[in-house]
Amino acid sequence: MELFQQAKMWNLMYRTTFSWMVLEIFICSVKGLNVCTSGSATSCEECLLIHPSCAWCAQEDFGMTRTLTSRCDLSQNLQKRGCDVRFIESPSSTARVDTSVPLSSKSSGQTQFDVVQIQPQRISLNLRPGDPTWFGVQVRPVEDYPVDLYYLMDLSLSMKDDLDTILNLGTKLAEEMRKLTSNFRLGFGSFVDKNLSPFSYTAPKYRDNPCNGYKLFPTCVPSFGFRHILSLTDEVDRFNEEVQKQMVSRNRDAPEGGFDAILQAAVCKERIGWRKEAYHLLVFATDDVPHLALDGKLGGLVQPHDGKCHLDDKNEYDASTKMDYPSLALLGEKLAENNIFLIFAVTKRHAVLYKNLTALIPGTTVEILEPDSKNIIQLIVAAYNNIRSKVELSVWDHPEDLSLGFSATCQDGQSLPGLRKCADLKIGETVSFNVSVEARSCPAPGTQHRFTIKPVGFKDRLEVTVDYRCDCSCTHLTHANSSHCSSIGTYTCGMCRCEPGYLGARCECQEGEAGGGHLSACREAEGKQVCSGRGECSCSQCLCYESEFGKIYGRFCECDDFSCARHKGILCSGHGECHCGECKCHAGYVGDNCNCSTETASCVSDDGQICSGRGSCVCGRCQCTEPGAFGDTCEKCPTCPDACSTKRECIECRLFGSGRLADNQTCQRQCKDEIITVETLKTDDPNAVLCLYKTENDCVMKFTYSEHANGQSVLMALQEPECGAAPDAMTVLLAVVGSILLVGIVLMAIWKMVITFHDRREFARFQNARSRARYEMASNPLYKQPISTHAVETVFQMQSKSSSNGGVH
């Protein structure tokens, strides 16, 4: 298993190194990305600092005489230009394992020097700035490792019921812990708070008994900062005895002085009895929040904590009223320095606060303590198992000019970049870490740095020594007044460093010779800039500058390979070469920037037409002219008149194996759209086009055609065409006759209603006229009573008249 882990680790390192080499080759092949030639390095050391891929050629006769800084380039380029590999200076970062003792599997029966939980133990690095190197680290928590547990308890008045609960804690806890380790020791300490106002009661009547006048608990001991009671021991009965002797105290404010106690328990190693070869567990039991640094100023304490042990002869913290509370940073530093795991056993009310503190203090865990501490044993066992199931690497004495990176390979075998921690481990499982180290700069010559990598809470560590590769081996062969330099310069790493007043590749020219006559030879024409402003005139010839964008060349440095037209930021569109300001296009491309392809293959749609017959091919791309058409070959067009007919052929061949495209290969090639069959076709989608066509057996096939936002065409079709049955003749006849009769009856009813309405209206008018008459029929002057003339009536009238006259007389 161990060999497998190592092989896997080195395999990852090899792949990473190979990837780096590929990156260098990529940089070499891309125009404008050659950082080596753009740095204008004038020495081998300057070249190496530009980029880890840069190399220097120290060969004497190497180089283009018309280029200023041609010796610094990628190693591949130098070889192509004729530099012998023997003269190429290109150091790389290396890692060497100095000490690698195999990991232990079990602690029982071994001395502290025999147990190994981290491998390797010593590594030497030789770093070139900017060039990272990797090494592997393996960690295995061994079985049956010794455990030292120091129980630090809050003895403020609110913890009295907790004190009663742990009277026999030692015996019970030892029984449980011995199930996990055969070598267990237990210690005890307590704390309250600084015996100083405003943290405690300091009035004379409370000096000996802070509970004076408190009816519930009238008697308690004076307040104290920290008291070490029992050093770590395997005699658990002594633990019980000392706990039974303890009494609670009383302080004034709610926060406690627990952080004072934690720091003293961590740094007073000899008094507490911490063993180097054991796990160090510090259980911190409290029911309230702690005082932090600067709180001491409330009591007039302005001196910061010095992080040292201050226990007097009575094992009490004698600097409690002299120094401020420790800061979180100081607390975390001392706990890590002494390999102590801190367990916050706190009540649920304050658990969130302490969980936030664990992010600032490495190696800490939080467990919920019941109000009377009845679950303390289960809590400690659970916390111990939690601690043992995690491995986290920490870095000590990290040099500022080094960058470190981590990746973890935990029990599942998966590499997790950026992580230096594994959890949910079982005792005896091995985890691996890959550590990358990169130097950001070069320190002073001869500087050596060291740093340490160690698992949190472990005594085991990996010592790393760092040397720097910032110089070139060719500098050791420097010759002053060399004949290579006309005896007036120093020859080093293949080039001359001329004495003042001399210049040239061999120091063959004097500065006074660079007068007007010689400068005119470096001008393309009268009035032009010397060497086109892109070089220097040396000994009557132009030495062109190096450019980060490409190569400058020509007799007068008038040409380059980067000042041509671009398309979308790419020189000559990537389909041509730039020669002296003009793009020379590759075959198949035309245009000032070579962005126009003469090929039409990319414009041919699946049906063999250019741009599906809906556009034209311009520079290898379809320009759709049909309204509503889109797609790489204008193949998508829901609103085109022929959209339904085009998709109909795909429906026929895909669903029913019929139609013009029934040939299977043709159908698969041209019909790539997704077809969904449904029982009922929904037509409420505004972006879908409803298509219908008549099949060979006079049925109607319906489908919808739509384009999704992702560019995919979707066809939704009925599972089967809709076929209607032939109508029954008798049914049709009866329907027609019934319709005629119904219409006749309706018309007669309407006629009857009209006549009735008319008659009623006339009769009402007649009645109304009669009621408005102004005279009776008898008073009508036009009316004459009928007269009957008879003889008898005349005689009767005469006789009647005579009688009337005779009577008078």
Q: Which numeric CATH code is attached to 94-107+114-142+393-468?
A: 2.60.40.1510
Q: pLDDT tens digits for 704-717?
A: 877 776 666 778 88
pLDDT at 191: 95
Q: What is the CATH number of domain 147-389?
A: 3.40.50.410
Class at the top of the CATH hierarchy for domain 512-558:
mainly beta
CA angle in degrees (0–180, nearest 5) for 456-339-241: 130
Nearest to 195 by CA among 294, 296, 83, 88: 296
**Structural contact between residues 576 and 584, judged by C-beta atoms closer than 8 angstroms:** yes
The span from the CA of 68 to the CA of 59, in Å, is: 15
Instruction: Answer yes or no: are the C-beta atoms of 454 and 118 closer than 8 Å.
Output: yes
550-559 long-range contacts, CB within 8 A, separation 24+: 550/31, 550/32, 550/578, 553/66, 554/580, 555/524, 556/522, 556/523, 556/524, 556/528, 556/531, 556/532, 557/531, 557/532, 558/524, 558/532
Is it the case that residue 35 has pLDDT exceeding 60?
yes
- Residue 16 banded pLDDT, cuts 50, 70, 90: very low
Segment 619-624 mean pLDDT: 86
What local confidence, expressed as pLDDT, does residue 482 receive?
Answer: 86
Instruction: Calculate ∠ Cα 61-46-505, nearest 5°.
Output: 30
Res 29 pLDDT > 50? no
Answer whether CATH 3.30.1680.10 is correct for domain 36-90: yes
Lowest mean pLDDT, pick from 266-275, 378-387, 497-506 = 497-506
Q: Would you call 491 helix, strand, or coil by DSSP?
A: strand
CA 73/CA 55 separation, integer angstroms: 6
Domains 512-558 and 643-718 alike in fold: no
What the block records as the tokens of 606 is 């699946």
Minimum mean pLDDT among 279-283, 555-559, 697-701: which range? 697-701
pLDDT digits (tens, 9 = 90+) for 405-451: 999 999 888 888 989 999 888 888 999 999 999 998 888 888 899 99
Q: What percent of the chain has pLDDT over 90?
A: 29
**Whole-number average pLDDT of the chain:** 82
Give per-residue pLDDT as tens, 449-507: 999 999 988 889 999 999 998 888 888 888 888 888 888 888 888 888 888 878 777 78
Asked whether the beta carbons of 192 and 153 are under 8 A apart, the reply is no
* Spatial distance between the Cα atoms of 319 and 264, rounded to a whole number of angstroms: 10
Q: Which CATH class is domain 643-718?
A: few secondary structures
What are the pLDDT digits (tens) for 367-376? 998 887 888 9
- CA dist 162 and 347 (Å) reads 11
Dump pLDDT digits (tens) for 84-116. 899 999 999 999 999 999 998 776 555 555 789
Query: What's the pLDDT score for residue 807?
Result: 42
User: What superfamily would CATH give domain 566-597?
Assistant: Laminin (2.10.25.10)
Range in 454-463, 756-765, 786-795 the model is least confident about: 786-795
Q: 294-334, pLDDT tens digit by residue?
A: 999 999 999 999 999 999 999 999 999 999 999 999 999 99
Q: For residue 23, name the pLDDT band (cuts at 50, 70, 90).
A: very low
Return the percentage of the chain with pLDDT > 70, whole number: 85
- How confident is the model over 560-570, as a mean pLDDT? 87
Q: pLDDT tens digits for 323-358?
A: 999 999 999 999 999 999 999 999 999 999 999 999
Exposed, middle or buried, 467 (CB in 10 Å: 0-12/13-18/19+)? middle
- Nearest by Cα to 190 from 153, 161, 156: 153
Tens digit of each residue's pLDDT (9 = 90 or more) over 144-184: 888 999 999 999 988 888 888 888 888 888 888 888 888 89
- Domain spans in the chain, listed from the N-terminal domain onward: 36-90, 94-107+114-142+393-468, 147-389, 512-558, 566-597, 643-718
pLDDT band at 185 (very low <50, low <70, confident <90, very high): very high
- DSSP of 533-570: GSEEEETTEEEEPPBTTB-EESTTS-EESS-S-EETTE
